[in-house]
Structure 1
Amino acid sequence: MASQEAERHWKIEDLDFSRIALDKVRPDENLFNLVACASFIESGSDLYTHNLVDFFKGDDEVTEWLSNHWEQEELQHGKALRAYVEYVWPEFDWETAYKGFLEEYATYCKVELLAPTRALEMTARCVVETGTATYYRAMARSTDEPVLHDLATRIATDEVNHYKHFYRYYRRYRTQEKLSRLRVFRTIGQRTLELKSEDADCAIRHVVQTRSPERASDTAYVQALSARMNSTIRTNLSAATTLKMLMRPLELPARLQAVIQYPIRQFMQHVFLR
């Protein structure tokens, strides 16, 4: 099954960059920032993979999937996004900007920052995959450029599939650890609040440092770029789908889910729409 899954997976060569209308896309600074920042974060996925493999050592099913599927697909996302940036904006020194990003980003990727138990870490992974799927779905909706729409849609589909794996592992560990819904809810809430974390801030800082070094120390300028990116995602996200993915690990009875859905939606909007 795993080999069949790998065989079905798309390749960068499936993307036809010659279809890009460069004169239409190149002037779009916000689009550049969205794609460049995503390319940095995805390209640093191996840092998290190594931490997770260490954390789940002894569970061969999980570590094999993390190393041979999740990491490979995440790194492919980074390569494809980088290829798009370098095709549309060849003047941008991606390698230099990424090196600066990675040096700082590595300080955020530590085993001690993972959740205290395996079930709770799988809960956190579900939240992260919800955030990335939301980001790429929104990116796909935000552009009529066909190649980027195609790429963002492919990545979003991968992220949803990753979510399904993490959720399945979560259910196994939750049973073993006999986790209460309260602990799961707290992890979901904490990790959701961290979705707009230092990762994206780090990425945009290093994009600006390389692309517009004269503006790198202009905090207001950098924050304005970040706010514009957030606005694009906010305008194009599917709140109902995101809410469903966030709530799923709670495994609430239908009646209780209906009762708490509104306050959770309000909390989610506070995070994603702020």
Structure 2
Amino acid sequence: MPACNPPRWKISDLDFSSIALDRVRSDETHFYLACSASFVESGSDLYTRNLVDLFAGDDEVTTWLREHWEAEELQHGRALRAYVQHVWPEFDWESAFRGFLEEYSTYCKVELLAPTRGLEMSARCVVETGTATYYRALARGTREPVFRDLATHIANDEVSHYKQFFRFFRRYREQEGLGRTRVMRTLARRTWELRSEDADCAIRHIAKARAPERAEDARYLREMSSRMGRTVGRNISPGTALKMLMRPLELPRRVEAAVQFPIEQFMTRVFLR
């Protein structure tokens, strides 16, 4: 059983009163980035239920999911919500989130998980790679110190989660006799899905509450999504992400070096599209 370590940080560690409002208050892209992240993180319990169902009977995994992963993911959501409400107090976060959650819950189904426990653990490694990369990019790209600290805390948590999912993956890989080809297919599919319906769903519901006249404006929604993607894409560090992404394959060093460039290009496309 993983050790029950205390949380690495608490929301009270963040001094919201010191937020540099003049740097972010009028930044619409920053607002959408922070708010969409708060929505997705606040819906993490939906995925926890699915994963607990998939791994029923494996007490080590299900206990860690409930007591560590879910608790930390929901703390991310609460901290991001507090940030949004401090900078943009006029935004009706609760109402917008309810609309988001109603739609988002339709994407979170057990049947959408990978076909085996081991492959789902490899998929979770991709997700944690993506979120760690995403929050590191947000930390690098912001001019606001409190948000930089918050994004850094979250990125560090995601790296820790990755390590735990990878440990579970190795155990299941041996049990299921998973070959590299099956793992590679799962990694590629899940990487391409990193920026899919989650962010688009959040953007739609934020716009509905923030600017109702633009909620049905497909061109505006696409442009906002592109602006968010460019902000992240300019600040990603593909080298670190690549090592995390490829680790479940445990490729020989020579082969890993040969595929490094095309995979870096693929990951950049994922974040910029």
TM-score normalised by structure 2 residue count: 0.97
Q: Which residue of 1 aligns with 2:227?
A: 228
| Residue 263, structure 1, aligned to residue 257, structure 2 | no
Structure 1 unaligned segments of length 5 or more: list them.
none
Match of 2:45 in 1: 46
Q: Is the 8 A contact 2:100 2:201 kept in 1?
A: yes
Tell me how far apart the structure 1 counterparts of residues 149 and 96 of structure 2 sit (CA, whole Å): 25
Instruction: Give the superposition deviation at 1:261.
Output: 1.8
Per the alignment, residue 136 of structure 2 pairs with 137
Long gaps (5+) in structure 2: none
Aligned to 2:62: 63
The more displaced of 123-132 and 253-262 is 253-262
Could you say which residue in structure 1 is the equivalent of 2:109? 110
Indicate the residue corresponding to 1:185 in structure 2. Answer: 184
Number of residue equivalences? 272
- The residue that corresponds to 1:86 in the other structure is 85
1:71-117 CA-partner distances (Å, limit 9, x unpaired) = 00000000000000000000000000000000000000000000000
Report the CA distance between 1:170 and its aligned residue.
0.3
Pair 212,168 (structure 1): closer, same or farther in 2 beyond 3 Å: same
Residue aligning to 1:206 = 205
| Aligned counterpart, 2:123 | 124
Q: Kindly tell me: are residues 267 and 73 of structure 1, through their superposed partners in 2, closer, same or farther at Cα, counting changes over 3 Å?
A: same
The answer on 1:170 being equivalent to 2:169 is: yes
SS of equivalent to 1:54: helix
State the distance in 2 between where 1:137 and 1:120 align: 26
Whole-Å Cα distance in 2 between the matches of residues 113 and 186 of structure 1? Answer: 15
Q: Quote the RMSD (CA, aligned, Å).
A: 1.0
Q: Which moved more, 1:64-73 or 1:21-30?
A: 21-30
Which residue number corresponds to residue 2 of structure 1?
3
Counterparts of 2:244 and 2:99, CA distance in 1: 33
Structure 2 letter corresponding to 1:273: L
Distance, in Å, in 2 between the alignment partners of 1:226 and 1:64 is 36
User: 1:120-156 CA deviation, whole Å, 9 max, x = no partner?
Assistant: 0001000000111111000000112110000000000
TM-score by length of 1: 0.97
Q: Secondary structure at the match of 1:196?
A: coil
C-alpha separation in 1, matches of 2:115 and 2:193: 16
> What one-letter code is carried by the residue in structure 2 that aligns with 1:198?
E
Instruction: Write the letter of the residue equivalent to 1:44.
Output: G
Q: Give distance in 2, aligned partners of 1:251 and 1:186.
A: 14
**Helix, strand or coil at the partner of 2:262:** helix
